[in-house]
Amino acid sequence: MFARLGRLVVHHPWKVIGLWLLVIVAVVASAPKLTSTTDQSEFLPSHYESIQAMELQQKAFPQSAAPAAIIVFGRADGAPLTEGDSAAIAAVGEQLTAANLGDVIGLQTVPPSENKLIQIIAVQLTKVTNQGDTRQGDAVEALRTALKRQVEGTDLKAGITGQAAQMLDQQESSAKGMAIIGVATIVLILVLLLVIFRSPVIALLPIVTIGAVSSLVGGLIAMVARAFDLQLDSSVNSILLVVLFGVGTDYILFLMFRYRERLRAGEDPKTAMVGAVARVGEAITSAAGAVIIAFTALTLSTLGMFRALGPALAIAVAVALMAGLTLVPAVVSLLGTKVFWPSKAWKQEPTGARFAALGAALGRRPGAFAVVSGGLLVALGVLAFGFNPTFDLTSGSTSDVSESVVYNKELLRGMPAGATQPSEVLLRADGGVLTVDQLAHFHTALDQVSGVGRVGEPKLSDDKATAEFQVTLDSAPESDAALATVRGPLRDAAHAAAPAGTTVAVGGMTAVFVDFQDAMNHDYAVVFPVAAILIMIVLALLLRSLIAPWYLMASVFLGFAATLGAAVLVFQHIQGDAGLIFTLPVIMYLFVVALGTDYNILMVARLREEAREGRDPREAAALGLRHTGPTVAAAGVILAGTFASMMLAGNNVLSQMGFAISVGIGVAAFVMAMFFTPAVTALLGHRAWWPGHGDRTAQEVKPGNGDSLRAGSGGTEARSVAPGGGEFR
C-alpha cells in the first residue's frame, strides 16, 4: 500500500501539491474562527453542584453578577489612607461614572478596609455573551487609561484587577507567549536540522510545508469544534503549534533518513523516494496511529476542555502524517538530490562509531543496561507521589508584573484573600418564599464556618424565593486551603443549615475547582486505562506479539512516572511552587505514552528486522541501537526542544507543560527506546515475539504469512545514521 502511495506521489508531484493547495484554500475559506475560552465553568458537565449554582443564579438574578473588575486604590507611600484620600477616591469614582465609558454599567465605591491600607471601587461590566466577545476587555483598557489620568500627580496609586482584568492580561500574555514559542520553535528546528543534514534546504523543508498546512489544521479544528459544540481552552493554540511542528518534523526526519539511505544504496532519486515512503510509511503510520488513539481517548473525559483538546491534537497529528507521506515526498521528488545542497555527506556511509560502541556494550550486558535505565525511571517515579495539583490558572498564565497580578496582591493588604472571586451560596425555597428568620439562621451558619472571612447580606430575587449569599474566604480562591473549605466545611454547613423545603447550591470559582478535582479523578480512572489498552492493541497487531506490548507499555508507564517526578522535583521542591497545574498529568500522560510508544515502535521494529535476518537477540539489540539510535536521538532532540520552547512564554502554566513534556520525550527517546526496550528485548529473546514469532528469519517465514514487518521493510531506520557517524557535530 505504501509503495503504491509513494509511486503515485513521486510520479504526480505537481498534482499532489496542487491538491493540497486546493484543500487548504477551501478549508480556510469556509472554516469559522477558532476561538478559545478561559472560563473554567464552561468545561464542567451540568450535574456538578457549582454549575447547578450558576444556573440557579442566572435564573433568579438575570441582571446581577459579581463585579467583573475591581479598581484598587492605595497610597503611593504605603501609608494608611486619610479621609482626604477617601474623598479623592470617591471623586474619581464619580468622574469615571460621568465619563460614560462603553460597557461600564456601574461603579460602586466601597469604604476603606479596616486597616485603611486599601480602598476599592467595584465595577459592573456588560456580560460576555460568547467566547469572541471582547467588550469587557475593551472596557478594562478604557478604564485603565482614564484611571491613570485621574490619579496622576496625586498621592494615590491605583490599578484594576478582578476577573475581566485578569482575563485581558492573560490574553495579552498568551499572545506574547505564542510569538516567543513560534520563533523559538522555528529557530530550533532550523538549527538542529542544519547540524544533522548540513543543508539549508532540508532545514527549511518542515518550516515551509508544516507552516503551509497549519492553517488547514486550524480550520479543521474550528469546524469540528463548531459541529460538536466543543470548548477549547486558551492554552490549546500553544500546544497545537509545538505538536504540529514537533511531530511533523519528526515524521519528515524519519522519511529523509530513509531517503538518504536509499540514495546511498545506488538508487535514483525518484526510486529512492518511492522506497523511502514504502519502508518508513508503516512505521510512522503506526506511530501516528498510537498518538491519535491516545489523544482521541480524551473524548471520554467528563471535562469539556479535554474532550475538545483530544480531537484538536488528533487532527494536528493526522494532518502532519498525511503531509509527511504525500506533500513532503512530492516536494523532495521535484528537488531530487538538490535537497541536500550544499552538503555532499549524503553520498558517504558514516561509520556510526559512537552508537556502534553503545550498541556493542548493550549487546554484551543487556541486564546491566535494563537495571540502570529502569532504576533511573523508578527513582524519579517515586517523587511523583508528591504531586500536588494547583488551580491557579490566572496568575500562572500571566506575567508577575501585569497590572491585574500586581493589584491583586495590593488588594490582599486590606481584604480577605478571596475578595476577588467570592464564593456564592444559593438558597431557594421549593415552594413559597423565604422568611426573615430562615435567612438570618442560614447567614449565621455560614458565618461560623472555619475558613470564611465574611458573609454578605442575602440578596433576594424578585419572587422572594431565592437568596444569594456572597461568601468571602480567608484564602485565595484557587488555593488548597480555599478548596478544602468549600469541599468540606462550607458545603457541609450550607446543606445542614438549609431549612426544610429548600434547595442549596454552593457555587463560585472555588467550587468550580473543587468539582474539577472530582472530574479529574474520574478521568484518571477512565482515560488512562482506555488509552493504554488501545495502544497495546495497536502494538499487538503491528508486532503480532502478546508479550512485547506488555513490557513496552510498562516502560512507558515508568517513563510517565519519572517525568511527573522530575516536574515535582524541579517546580515543587527546587523552585518552591505550591503545586503543579492540575491538567498536567493528563496532558503529560498522553504525550509521554503516545510519543514514547512512537520511539518504541521504531526501535522494536528494527530489533525485529535484525532478528529476521538471522541474528541472535543480543546481536540484534546491538545493531538495532547502532542503526536506529541516531534516528531516535535526532527525533527526540527536535521534539523535546520544540516543547521546551514553551518554557520561554513567560508564564508558569506553559513553563510547567513545556518542561514536563520535553523531559518526558527525552526520557522516552534516550532512556526507554534507546536502552530499556532493546535491553529487555534482548533478555527475553525469542519469547518477546510470542505467539507470532516475528523474529523468524526470512527463510522461516512461510509464503502468505502476512507478517506486517517483513525483513528489510519494517519502517525502521536501517543504516540511517546522522552525518559523522550518527553524532551531532
Split at pLDDT 50, 70, 90, the class of 383 is very high
Those residues whose C-beta lies under 8 Å from the C-beta of residue 191, and which sit 6 or more positions away, are 203
**pLDDT the model gives residue 711:** 35
Residue type, 661: I
Of 295, 217, 384, 240, the C-alpha closest to 594 is: 295
CB-CB contact of 6 with 277 (8 Å)? yes
Q: What is the pLDDT of residues 118-158, one digit of tens each?
A: 999 988 888 775 556 778 888 889 999 999 988 888 889 99
**pLDDT the model gives residue 603:** 86
Residue 494: pLDDT over 90: yes
**pLDDT the model gives residue 698:** 47
CB-CB contact of 354 with 629 (8 Å)? no
Q: What is the pLDDT of residues 98-115, one digit of tens each?
A: 888 888 888 889 899 888
| Integer Cα distance of 112 and 201 in angstroms | 65
Q: Which three cell numbers stand for residue 651?
A: 508564564
Task: Calculate the alpha carbon distances from 649 to 36, 230, 280, 475, 703 in Å.
Answer: 18, 26, 35, 28, 56
Q: What percent of the chain has pLDDT over 90?
A: 21
Instruction: Please give the residue that has the higher pLDDT: either 17 or 258.
Output: 17
| Integer Cα distance of 657 and 148 in angstroms | 36
**pLDDT the model gives residue 513:** 87
pLDDT (average), residues 20-31: 90
Split at pLDDT 50, 70, 90, the class of 486 is very high
Those residues whose C-beta lies under 8 Å from the C-beta of residue 486, and which sit 6 or more positions away, are 423, 473, 506, 508, 510, 511, 514
pLDDT (average), residues 507-535: 85
Split at pLDDT 50, 70, 90, the class of 377 is very high
Lowest mean pLDDT among 199-208, 288-297, 307-316, 588-597: 588-597
Q: How many CB atoms lie within 10 A of CB 440?
A: 11
Residue 19: pLDDT over 90: yes
Residue 22: pLDDT over 90: yes
| Integer Cα distance of 154 and 399 in angstroms | 27
Residue type, 451: G
Residue 701: pLDDT over 60: no
DSSP one-letter string for 658-724: HHHHHHHHHHIIIIIIIIIHHHHHHHHGGGGGTBTTTT--TTTSPTT---SS-TT-SSS-TT---TT
CB-CB contact of 56 with 425 (8 Å)? no
